[in-house]
Structure 1
Amino acid sequence: SSLSLFPPLYISLLLLVKMATQLKQLADVTSVSMSKMAFTAALGNSIGPFEQDTPLKYQRILSNIGGGYNPATGIFTAMVRGMYYFRYTMYNNNSGQPNSVVSLMMNSQRMVSTWDTVGDDSHDSASNAAVVQLEAGDSVFVNLYANRVLYDDGYYYNTFSGFLLFTL
């Protein structure tokens, strides 16, 4: 009669092991899919000047694996804690005085910048990049400063890219 308890207990243990295995497989799949974050977007139109600093909204999406980049806001949002690489380009084609200043921003903190406000040439391009640690929910965007401009057209000179190097 005490032996009759063992088969149900054995079956319960088997079910528990099977459920634990399935839960681990689900966690592994979720971890892999969240660790794939990469995007590149291009501006495509001239922009500015604005009376206040403005996040650039890159509308032409070349890739957006993981969905971290939002073209409606111009903001990349980290889905997982990790080390990320970001790069942007800035281009102006202003006859006369160049007037382009942008920065790569993490939340509200300036990380790196490009500046072109002096010179008598009319075709200037600059880029900058950074490797930064982000927490899940942190945001990264390119900021165009007040009273500054960028030139762009169908050749897509201004781009913003980023990807997750590894999770932490």
Structure 2
Amino acid sequence: MSRLWSTTLQQLLLLLAISFIRASDKAAELGDRLTRAEARLNTDPCEQYTNISDPWRNRGFLSSTSQLQLKDDSNLPEGWYRFVGVGGDILDFDPFPNSSLKEERLGSCGHQSYSNLPDKIALCAPPDRKVGESVDVKICFKKFFVHKLKPTNSSQIYGTGHWRCTDSSCGEFAQCGELGACKCKPGYEMPKGLPTGDTYRCTASKTGWISANRTLLGGTPKVAFAAALGKAMAKSNDEKKIPFKNILTNVGGAYDNSTGVFTAPCDGVYYFSFSTFKAESPKTNACTSLFRNEERLLTACDHAVGGDTTDTAGNGAPLLLKKGDQVYITLHARSSVYDDDLNRSCFRGFLLFEM
């Protein structure tokens, strides 16, 4: 009987050992598959790439009056990149020269370069000059392209354009131009100076913004702004205009943050309001007024009395303005107001309707 139990136990142990070995083999095989899959994922450029979203790379977003000096790509790390955003999703079809640029724009050597879904794109510089270099390119999931870029020579940048340009490709107040380029809509223009991030966009020109901002139905121009002071304004012996520097909204471009003055673009009824913050120190009044041209219309004042510490004073009203009328806020003599990155002191307004 003991021999029978001994034999049976040995058989069970053997079966367990075989099962364990088989399980170990399967685990190893699974681990092997996972490792190979992970390796493929890490080397697949469609899975491992870096986005480039600079609007200024698009030929049409370069203002001929800007005198721009863009950052070149001489320090760009070599690797796979995907162009995204309003600047475009491929290398520019034609790297046309731009007299306002010191940089040389690199792009594909013809607008048919991407038609046959190539694996390499020859690079050209203006005007139609091959630079003897090429860029590896791959289409991912039949939806987008990735490019293997490397650092350029000094003063060279990769130009971009749109492969399939649509109404929404170029962003707000812009539309598709020729060969994948973007351009501002009538009445808008590119700002002067070096573009940075989201601030680089078509803005209302001084001469054409009314026609560009009118809606299809009512024909009413779109006007709205809000700006914060941004920092404290100390007391003075004279009454002074308050330049609310930090623009929060400026649809239509009628507010000038360098002077703090809003200029009415058309006859109409506008609503304005303002609020100012008085800090605990110094112990001064915080008195401000709203002017229409040279006429004082509204005043808000917080007086420093007793144990009074911090307070906010404000006022507002709808105003009838003629085209060219100016509205602004002043700080009374021997008053001071406070502001910081919380935007405690603000000036705002918008058009209610035309007259």
TM range (shorter): 0.7 to 0.9
What root-mean-square deviation, in Å, do the aligned CA atoms of Structure 1 and Structure 2 show?
1.8
Amino acid at match of 1:63: T
CA deviation digits over 1:74-109, x for unaligned, max 9? 000000000000010111113373411100111011
Partners of 1:36 and 1:65 within 8 A in 2: yes
Are 2:280 and 1:94 equivalent residues in the alignment?
A: yes
- Where 2:247 maps in the other structure, the secondary structure is strand
1:164 match: 351
Partners of 1:98 and 1:122 within 8 A in 2: no
Are 2:232 and 1:46 equivalent residues in the alignment?
A: yes
1:32 match: 214
2:324 match: 137
Q: Following the alignment from structure 2 to structure 1, what is the Cα–Cα distance between the partners of residues 351 and 313? A: 23
Aligned-pair CA distance for 1:122: 1.2
Q: What is the TM-score normalised by the length of structure 1?
A: 0.78
Instruction: Select which of 251, 261, 265 maps to 1:65.
Output: 251
Distance 1:49 1:118, change over 3 A: closer
- Where 2:214 maps in the other structure, the secondary structure is helix
Structure 2 unaligned segments of length 5 or more: list them. Answer: 1-209
Structure showing greater radius of gyration is: 2
Amino acid at match of 1:165: L
Q: Following the alignment from structure 1 to structure 2, what is the Cα–Cα distance between the partners of residues 157 and 118? A: 18
Partners of 1:85 and 1:164 within 8 A in 2: yes
Aligned-pair CA distance for 1:29: 4.5
Distance 1:60 1:31, change over 3 A: closer
Amino acid at match of 2:274: Y
Structure 1 unaligned segments of length 5 or more: list them. Answer: 1-27
Partners of 2:213 and 2:252 within 8 A in 1: no
Q: What is the TM-score normalised by the length of structure 2?
A: 0.38
What is the identity percentage for the equivalent residue pairs of Structure 1 and Structure 2?
A: 35
Instruction: Select which of 104, 123, 126 maps to 2:290.
Output: 104
Q: Following the alignment from structure 1 to structure 2, what is the Cα–Cα distance between the partners of residues 98 and 50? A: 11
Q: Following the alignment from structure 2 to structure 1, what is the Cα–Cα distance between the partners of residues 242 and 231? A: 11
Q: Following the alignment from structure 1 to structure 2, what is the Cα–Cα distance between the partners of residues 67 and 96? A: 35
Q: Following the alignment from structure 1 to structure 2, what is the Cα–Cα distance between the partners of residues 151 and 60? A: 14
Aligned-pair CA distance for 1:151: 1.1
Q: Following the alignment from structure 1 to structure 2, what is the Cα–Cα distance between the partners of residues 147 and 124? A: 17
CA deviation digits over 1:7-53, x for unaligned, max 9? xxxxxxxxxxxxxxxxxxxxx94571672110000011000212211
Distance 1:159 1:113, change over 3 A: same
2:300 match: 114
Partners of 1:111 and 1:130 within 8 A in 2: no
CA deviation digits over 1:110-137, x for unaligned, max 9? 1111111242221110111010100000
Partners of 2:274 and 2:315 within 8 A in 1: yes
Partners of 2:284 and 2:335 within 8 A in 1: no
Following TM superposition, the consecutive aligned residue runs of length 4 or more in structure 1 with deviations greater than 6 angstroms are none
Q: Following the alignment from structure 2 to structure 1, what is the Cα–Cα distance between the partners of residues 295 and 325? A: 11
Partners of 2:289 and 2:298 within 8 A in 1: yes
Instruction: Decide which structure has greater strand share.
Output: 1
Distance 1:83 1:71, change over 3 A: same
